Structure 1
Amino acid sequence: MRYAVLFFAFGVWLLQQQSVLPNFAWSGLTLLLAGILLLPRSTLLQRQAYPALLATFACTFGFFYAAFFAQQRLSDTLPAEWQGKDIQIIGVVAKLPSQHEHGLRFVFDVEQVLTPNAIVPPHILLASYDGIREEPLDIHAGERWRLTVRLKQPHGSSNPHDFDFEAWMLENKLRANGYIHRKQDNVRLDALVQSPDYYIQNLREKVREHIQKRLNPFLNQRHPLRIPHTASGKEVLQSAEASVIEKNNYVGVLTALAIGDQAGIPAAQWQVFTRTGVNHLMSISGLHITMLSGLAFAASYWLWRRSARLTRALPARKAAALIGLLVALGYALLAGYGVPAQRTVYMLATIATVLWLSRTVAPSQILAAALLVVLLLDPWAVLSPGFWLSFGAVALIFYVTAHRLRPPHWLVTYGRVQWAMSIGLIPPLLAMFQQVSLVSPIANAFAIPLVSFVVVPLTLLGAVLPFDWPLWLAHQAMGVCINLLEWLNSLPEVVWTQHAPPTWSIAIGMFGVLWMLLPRGFPARWLGLLALLPMFLVLPAVPPEGTLHLVIFDVGQGLAVAAQTHNHALLYDTGPNFNSEANSGNRILIPALRGMGISQLDGLILTHDDNDHTGGALSILQGLPVGWLSSSLAANHPLLQHASNTQRCMDGQTWEWDGVHFEVLHPTAESYAAEKIRDNNRGCVLKISTGKNSILLAADIEKESEWRLLKQHEEKLPATLLVVPHHGSKTSSVNAFVAAIHPRYAVFTVGYRNRFGHPNKEVVERYLAVDSELLRSDRDGAILVEMDAQNISVERYRRTHTRYWHQDIAGGT
C-alpha cells in the first residue's frame, strides 16, 4: 500500500509538470491495467511481475486522476471578452477578508450573475479600494453582497525562480480576480448566510476581532498612541512612532496561531522568523494541532476512565481518540484547513481508526494514508513548498524515532528530532528557497516548546474566555521568544544563501541525509556528509569570455534587466514597487539573481526617477553587495544614501568586462543643469556589444531624446536586440529612430492589461515595418538572451517553462 501511494503521488506530480493536458483517450489504458490487476495473480501474472505492474498502475492512475480534476477546474473560466467590463453579481464573502494598504482582499463565491450574457467563474478573488471621498465598504466573512466588479483572467509574472501566481489561483479554485467598481449599488443583502463553511469563516473573523480588542488596550497603555481600526480589524499605525509599536506588537502572531491568518504579521517580524528558521511555528502547524489533540486525548482519557457508566458504554481509549480527533479537526478548520493542517488531521484520523479497531499500524502506513487523502482531495498540493516540507519533516521524525529496540530518554529523542530536522531539510530548502538558517537548531530548541506549549494554549484560551489575562500572558511569552530570536538574528552570517542546486544534487543530498540519520551502529555514517557537497560545490555555468547572458525580467509594467559576463554582473533598473512590503527587488529580482548564482552586483544603473524603474532598488541595495550605483537621480535622492559609490550616468562613459563592451549613450552632462527636462528624457541609455551583435537598452526616453541620439550617435544605434523605449508608448519610437536601430528583436516590457494601453498599436506597426520580431513580457515572460561575437539566442521563459494552467495570451491584448 505504501509504495502504491508513493507511485500515485508521483503520477500526480508528473501531471503538474505538463504544458498541456493529456488526451483522455489514453485513460483507456488505465482501465485496462485496472482490469488486469483485478484478475487473480496466478492466472496471468507471476508474483515477481506484480509489484512493477502495481506501481505502473498507481502512477498512471495518479496522472489521469489529476488530469481529470484539472480539466474540470479549467472549464470554469472568465471569457476574454468580459475582462475589464462592469459585471453585477450576487454572492457570499467566502473567506476571511485580509487588509491591504488601500482596502480589503477576499474570496467571493458567485451565486448569481445579474449582467445579461456575462459568464463569471463560481469562485473569484476580489479587492476593494477605499476612495478618498467615499466610505470604505464594511465587508465581513459569510455576508451576501450585490457587487459591481471588473475582472480579468489569472495572470502572473513568469521569471526564473519566481512564484507562480496562476498555479496558486488554480489550487485555490480561483478562476478570475479583480476589484469592486465603486458604485452606489454595492449593497449587503444578508448579514450571515446559513452554511457551515461561511459560519466557520465568520467565527474566524470574530476570533480575530476578539484578540485585537482584548490586546489593544494593553498595548495602548504601554505605548500611548491611538491605533485606529479598519473594518477588517487590522491595526493601521499612523505615526512616526509606529515602528516602535510594531516591533513590540505581536497581535498578528497570536492571530496567526489562533486562526491561521498571517496577514497581520509585519514584514520585519517575518524576516526574523525566516532568518532564524522558525517561520513554520508562526502558523497553525501540524505540531500545534497534534499537541492540542494530545492534550484533549489525555484529559478525556483520564476523566472517562473514572466513570464506570461511561466506560461500560464506550471504552476510554476509543472515547479519548474520538475527542482528540474532533479537537484536531475543529482547530484545523479554525486555521483555514491548509495542507499542514489537513495532513495532521488525516494522520490523527488514521491513528484514531487504529485505536478503534484495536490494530497496530506502522508509522509509514499512517503517513501514506495521509498523503493519499491529501492528494485525492487536492492534486495541486504537490505544487506547494509547504506540502514537501510538511510531509518531509514528519517522514524524517518517523525515520529517526520509529522501530527502535530500546526507546531513549525523551530529551534524547527531542535532540535527535531537532538534529534530523536541521540536517534533513537542507536539500529541499536549498531547492525551493536557496537559503538555510544556520541558527535554526538553536532557535527551534527553545521556540518549539515555548510556542507550542505556552503561547498556543494561552492564545486559544484567550480566544474563548472573556478574560484578558490569557492573551496578555501569551503576548508576553511571545515577546520573550521574539526577543531571543532577534538576538540570534543579530549575529553575523545567520543565513546561508546560494545558487539553486542542480536537481540531481538534491536527490544525492537526500540520500546522504538518510544515510547520516541511520541508527547508531551502522558503519561509515559520516559518508552521508559527502553526498551533501555537490549541492554547494556544483555552481551554475557562467558565460564564457566574450559572451553575454542577459535577462529581461517580467516585472509587470516596469523594467529590470540583468547582464552577466564571465566575472561580472550588472542590473539595469529594478522594476516597480507593489506595496509597502513587496516590490520587484525582494519578490522577483533577488530570488532570480540568487538562483542564477549572482551573489553580488558589480554595478547598478537606475535610469531615471520613476517607480516602475526604481521601485525595487532599496531591496536590492539592502539585499546584495553593490559595487557602484550610476543614475540620473537628483543628488539629494534618498536612494543614493544607501549606496557607497555613486555617480551620474552620462554620454561617453565606457567600460569593458570580460570581452564585452558597455557604453552609455545618453544623457549628456549638460542636461543635468536643465531644470525643464523631463525625467524620462534624462534616462540612461546603455549599449552592450560583443563582436557583430549588440543590445540597446533605451529606458523611457521620448522623442526629444531619440532625435538627440539620431543627431549625435546615429552610427552607434544599430542593434541586434532593442528594449523598446518607454514600453512602446506613443511618445517614443519615432520612425527615424526605429529605422536607424533596425533591431532583429524588439522587446516590449509591459504589464498585462496595463492601464496605459502599452504598447501603442502605431508603435508596434513601426517595428513590424522593419521586420523586427516582437517580444512582450506580458505574453512571453522573462526574455533570456545568450549573445557572443557571432550568434545570439533568445528564449521566451513563459513558453519554455509553460504549464497547462498558464494563460495563453494570443497577441497579448
Structure 2
Amino acid sequence: MLITLSLTAIAVVLGALLDALAVPALLAVAAGAVAALSRVGALRAVPLALACGAGIVHGYEARQAEQAPPPPVAGSVPVEGVVWAAWCEDGGRCRVALADARVGGAPWPRKRVTAYFHHLEAPPRVGQAVRLSAEVRSSRAADNPSPFAGRAPGRYLHAVSVPEADVGAEVAWSTAIALAVRERLDALDPDVAALFRAVVLGDRLELSPSTRWAFQDTGTAHLLAISGLHLALVGFGLYRLLLALALLWPRLAQAGRPPAVAAAGALVLLWGFGEIIAPSDATRRALVFMTLHLGAVVLARASSARRALLVAAALAVVVDPLAALRPSFQLSFAAAGSLVLGAPAMAAVRAWVAEPGRFERAGTRRVVTWAALLVTINLLTFVATAPLAAAWFGQIAPHGLWVNLLAVPLMTILVLPIGFAWVALSLALPGVAALVGVVPEAAASLLLGLVREAAALGGPATTAAWPVGLAVLAVVGLLASLAHRRLRMLGAAVMALAIALALMARAPAPPALRLTALDVGHGDALVVELPDGGVMMVDAGGTWQGGEADRRLVDRILVPALTQMGISRLDVLLVTHDDRDHIGGALPLVERVGVGELWLAPCAARTRRGKALAARVLARGGRVRLVHAHPPIVYRGAELEILWPRLSALRPDGRCRYGPNDASVAMSLGYAGRRLLLTADIEADAEASLVAEGAARLRADVLKAAHHGSKTSSTQAFLSAVKPQVVVVSGLPGRLPMPPHPSVLDRFRALGREPWITGRDGSVAVTVDARGTLTVRRASEASKSRSEGSLRPP
C-alpha cells in the first residue's frame, strides 16, 4: 500500500509538470513502476499502473485548472459575513476582513475574505454581522522576474455599498470561539496581541511590518506560523494532559487503554483547534502528520516517524497535486525530513554526552544533552531550508542559527504555553485573566525584544536568489545523505553539485548596460545594471493608498524581482520626484535592501517624503546627493548625463520653480555607441526647454516614455529630436482617463515600432552588450505577449 501511494504521489507531481516535462515524466513513472513490480509481483501490476496513470492525469488537470483565470462574476452581488478585522486610513479608505462570508448566496472558498471600501465614515465593529453589495474582482498579478510568475491571481471584494450591520447572519461555532479569543487578546499590548493572534489563531494580518521583517531577517519567521512545531506542542500537550486525567480514573486505568483514549481525545481536540484557526497548507499537513502519529497510539501500533512523514507527504500531493511545487510544502517537508532522517545523528549526540566519565552529574548531563540536541536540530533545519528560502524568497539569515537557539526555547517553553493557558483562563475567568495579563505580555515582549535586537544587529537577510530547481536538488541531496549510510556519499555529492551550480548561476555576467522596467502598475521602477557591475534603481513605484500598500508592493514585487535578478544591494537609488507612484515604495525598500547612495532631485529633497527618505538612508549608513543638470561623466563603465532639472530648480525662498512633474530628473546613459534616455514624468514645458538647449544630445536608441505615456508629454518635437528605435512605457493601458493615452501611443507607433508597455507586456529588459548590440525582451518568462528582438551595433 505504501509503495502504491508513494508512486501515485510521484506520478501526480510529474503530471503537474507534464506540459514541460512530458517525456521525462512518463519515463520516470515507468521506471518507478518497473522497480516496484520487481518487489510486489505481477498481480499488482494493473492496479499500480492504473494508480500511476490516474495520478498523471490528476496532476496535469490540476495544473491546467490553476493556470486558468477564475470565472468572472458579473456585476455586484450580495455579501454576508462576520467582521473579523477592519483597518482604515486617512480619507476613509478601509479594508474589512469577513469571516464565514457568503458571496452571492454561496460560501466563500476560504475562511476569510477582504472587502475594500473607498470611503467609510466609520468601520464596522469586530464581531458584527454585516451585509453589503460588492463586486468580485481578481487582483492584478504583476509580471516580473519571480518564481511565482504565471500563477492565477487571487480574488477580493470591491464594496459598492455601505455595510448594513446586525443582519443576523449565521456564525459558525469555530468563528464564534475565534472571535471570543480575539476579543480577549485585544486587552493586551497591541504588539503582544498581534503576536498571540498569529501563534494562537493563525492570523498574521495585524503584525506590524517591522515585526514581520524582524522575524524574516533573523530566520525565525517559522515561529509565526501554526505548523509542525506549534501543532506538535498542542497535540502532545493535550495527549499528556488527557493521559494524566485518564490515569486518575480508576476504572479507565484498570481497563489498560488510557493511552488510546488520551490519543483519541487529543485528536478530536486537535482537529477542533484546526477548525477554529485560519489554517494554512502547512497547518493541514501538520494535522495529517499528527493524526497518523496519534492514530498509531489509538490502534496500539508501533509508530514510525519516517513512515508517517512519507504517508503525509504522499496524501498531501494526491489531494493537492500542485502542493509539491509550492514553497510551503517544500520548506515544511525539508525541515521535517531533516529532523526525522537526522534522528541517528541526534542519537549519536545523546550517546556522546552519556559516555561514562564525560559528565559526572546527572543535572549537567541533562543540560548538555538538551543544548547539544538544540544545536543539532537548529543546524539540520537551517541547512535543509536555507537553499529553498534563498530560491523562493531571496532570504538567507546566517545569524538565525544563534537567534533560533534562543527564540525557539522561548517560544516553546514560555510564549506558547503561557499564551494558550492565558487564553483558556480568559475564556473561563475573564477577571482573573485580566489580573495576570502582565505574564503573557512579559513572555511575548521578551521574544519580540530578542528578535528585534537581533534583526537590528544583523540587518536585512535579502540575498541574490538561487534557481528553484537547484535549491530543491540540494535539499534532496541532503535528505538522501541522512536517509541511509549507503547514500551518504552520493547525497553529499549531489548537494555539493547543486550548490556549485547555484553559485555559478550567480556569477557576474559579461559587461553590458541593462535596463529593466519593472511592472509596478501605474508607476516607475527601473533597474539599471551598469557595465562594471554596479546597480542603480531609478524610482521605486508606489500606490495611491500609500502606507501598507506600499510595503506590500516592496515585499511582493520589488524585492522578489531584485533578488531573482541577482541583486541584493543597490549602489544608487535615484528618486526622480515626489509623486507617490515614484517615491512611495522607496522608504520601505531601503528597509529591505542596502542602499549606498540616495540621489534626489532638488525639489524632491524639500518635501516631507523626501526628507524622511534621506534621513532613513543616512541612518542606515548611506549617503545622500542632490542631482541636477550636469555635463556627462563616466560612471561605473557607462556615460551618465543628468539633463534636467537645472541647478536653479529651487527659488531663493526654497520653493520649487517647476511644477511637480517638470521637477523630475531626466537622464541619459550611454554605452558602446548606444544611448538610453530616461525622462521620468517631465511634461511639454521641460521637453521644449531640453529641445531648445540642444536637440542633438537628446538623440537616443531607447526612450523610457515620460509620464507613463500621458498626453501632457512626448510632444512631436521632442520625439523628432530623440528619434528612438525602442519606446518603453511604464503604466497600465486601458484605464482612461489615466495614461497611457491612445494618441500618444499612436505617436510612438508612427516611429515604426510598437511601444513596450509594462502593464501589458510585463517587465521589459533592454540590454546593450560590449559590441553595441541592443536586445529587448520580456524580463519575466511568464509574459508571452511580445516576441524578443535585437538591433545590431550602429
Could you say what secondary structure the match of 1:137 adopts?
Answer: coil
Shift of 1:351: 2.0
* Matched positions, count: 736
Instruction: Give, in whole Å, the separation in 2 of the partners of 1:618 and 1:371.
Output: 41
Q: Are residue 338 (structure 1) and residue 280 (structure 2) matched?
A: yes
Answer yes or no: is the 8 Å Cα contact 2:7–2:33 preserved in 1: no
Find the counterpart in structure 1 of residue 603 from structure 2: 633
Structure 2: gaps of 5 or more residues: 355-368, 787-794
The 3 A distance-change label for structure 1 pair 166 and 651 is same
Shift of 1:319: 1.0
Find the counterpart in structure 2 of residue 279 from structure 1: 221
Instruction: Give, in whole Å, the separation in 2 of the partners of 1:61 and 1:154.
Output: 33
Q: Are residue 672 (structure 1) and residue 614 (structure 2) matched?
A: no
Find the counterpart in structure 2 of residue 478 from structure 1: 444
Aligned sequence identity (%):
22
Q: Are residue 500 (structure 1) and residue 465 (structure 2) matched?
A: yes
Answer yes or no: is the 8 Å Cα contact 1:155–1:166 preserved in 2: no
Find the counterpart in structure 2 of residue 231 from structure 1: none
Out of 373, 376, 384, which is 1:424 matched to? Answer: 384
Shift of 1:700: 0.6
Could you say what secondary structure the match of 1:653 adopts?
Answer: strand
Out of 139, 149, 153, which is 1:154 matched to? Answer: 139
Find the counterpart in structure 2 of residue 615 from structure 1: 584
Tell me the amino acid that sits aligned with residue 713 of structure 1: G
Find the counterpart in structure 1 of residue 197 from structure 2: 255
Shift of 1:106: 2.7
Find the counterpart in structure 2 of residue 372 from structure 1: 314
Find the counterpart in structure 2 of residue 792 from structure 1: 774
Shift of 1:271: 2.5
Shift of 1:654: 1.7
Tell me the amino acid that sits aligned with residue 733 of structure 1: S
Out of 637, 641, 655, which is 2:633 matched to? Answer: 655
Shift of 1:664: 2.2
Could you say what secondary structure the match of 1:128 adopts?
Answer: strand
Shift of 1:163: 5.8
Out of 717, 723, 747, which is 1:766 matched to? Answer: 747
The 3 A distance-change label for structure 1 pair 13 and 274 is same
The 3 A distance-change label for structure 1 pair 345 and 530 is closer
Shift of 1:398: 0.4
Could you report, residue by residue, the CA deviation over 1:379-432 in whole angstroms, capped at 9, with x for unpaired residues? 443454222211211111101116988875762544432221233222222222
Shift of 1:698: 1.4
Could you say what secondary structure the match of 1:695 adopts?
Answer: strand
Equivalent residues in 2 for 1:314-713 (5 A)?
315-401=257-343, 408=351, 411=370, 412-465=372-425, 466=429, 467-468=432-433, 469=435, 471-491=437-457, 493=458, 497-503=462-468, 505-507=470-472, 509-510=474-475, 513-514=478-479, 534=500, 537-538=503-504, 540-545=506-511, 547-567=512-532, 568-577=534-543, 579-581=546-548, 582-583=550-551, 584-622=553-591, 623-627=593-597, 629-637=599-607, 638=611, 639-641=613-615, 642-643=617-618, 645-657=623-635, 659-673=637-651, 675-713=656-694
The 3 A distance-change label for structure 1 pair 20 and 489 is closer
Instruction: Give, in whole Å, the separation in 2 of the partners of 1:795 and 1:62.
Output: 37
Shift of 1:46: 9.6
Could you say what secondary structure the match of 1:92 adopts?
Answer: strand
Answer yes or no: is the 8 Å Cα contact 1:99–1:263 preserved in 2: no
Instruction: Give, in whole Å, the separation in 2 of the partners of 1:721 and 1:120.
Output: 51
Shift of 1:701: 1.1
Instruction: Give, in whole Å, the separation in 2 of the partners of 1:354 and 1:403.
Output: 25
Instruction: Give, in whole Å, the separation in 2 of the partners of 1:564 and 1:634.
Output: 24
Could you say what secondary structure the match of 1:682 adopts?
Answer: coil
Out of 54, 61, 76, which is 1:68 matched to? Answer: 61
Tell me the amino acid that sits aligned with residue 756 of structure 2: L
Could you report, residue by residue, the CA deviation over 1:615-635 in whole angstroms, capped at 9, with x for unpaired residues? 122234443132452424345
Q: TM-score, normalised by structure 1?
A: 0.79
Shift of 1:588: 3.0
The 3 A distance-change label for structure 1 pair 522 and 413 is farther
The 3 A distance-change label for structure 1 pair 111 and 192 is closer
Instruction: Give, in whole Å, the separation in 2 of the partners of 1:739 and 1:2.
Output: 71
Equivalent residues in 2 for 1:72-221 (5 A)?
77-79=70-72, 82=74, 87-93=75-81, 96-97=84-85, 99=87, 101=89, 102-106=93-97, 113=104, 125-129=113-117, 131=119, 134-138=121-125, 140=127, 143=129, 145=131, 147-161=132-146, 167=152, 169=154, 176-183=155-162, 186-188=163-165, 190-193=167-170, 198-213=172-187, 215=188, 219=189
Aligned-residue CA RMSD (Å) = 4.2
Could you say what secondary structure the match of 1:625 adopts?
Answer: strand
Instruction: Give, in whole Å, the separation in 1 of the partners of 2:440 and 2:5.
Output: 41
Instruction: Give, in whole Å, the separation in 2 of the partners of 1:56 and 1:791.
Output: 53
Could you report, residue by residue, the CA deviation over 1:575-599 in whole angstroms, capped at 9, with x for unpaired residues? 1156434434454334433443334
Instruction: Give, in whole Å, the separation in 2 of the partners of 1:449 and 1:63.
Output: 43
Could you say what secondary structure the match of 2:342 adopts?
Answer: helix
Could you report, residue by residue, the CA deviation over 1:197-235 in whole angstroms, capped at 9, with x for unpaired residues? x4323432221112113x2xxx5xxxxxxxxxxxxxxx6
Q: TM-score, normalised by structure 2?
A: 0.81
Q: Are residue 778 (structure 1) and residue 743 (structure 2) matched?
A: no
Answer yes or no: is the 8 Å Cα contact 2:519–2:763 preserved in 1: yes
Structure 1: gaps of 5 or more residues: 170-175, 220-234, 236-248
Shift of 1:727: 0.7
Instruction: Give, in whole Å, the separation in 2 of the partners of 1:557 and 1:413.
Output: 52
Answer yes or no: is the 8 Å Cα contact 2:197–2:203 preserved in 1: yes
Instruction: Give, in whole Å, the separation in 1 of the partners of 2:675 and 2:69.
Output: 45
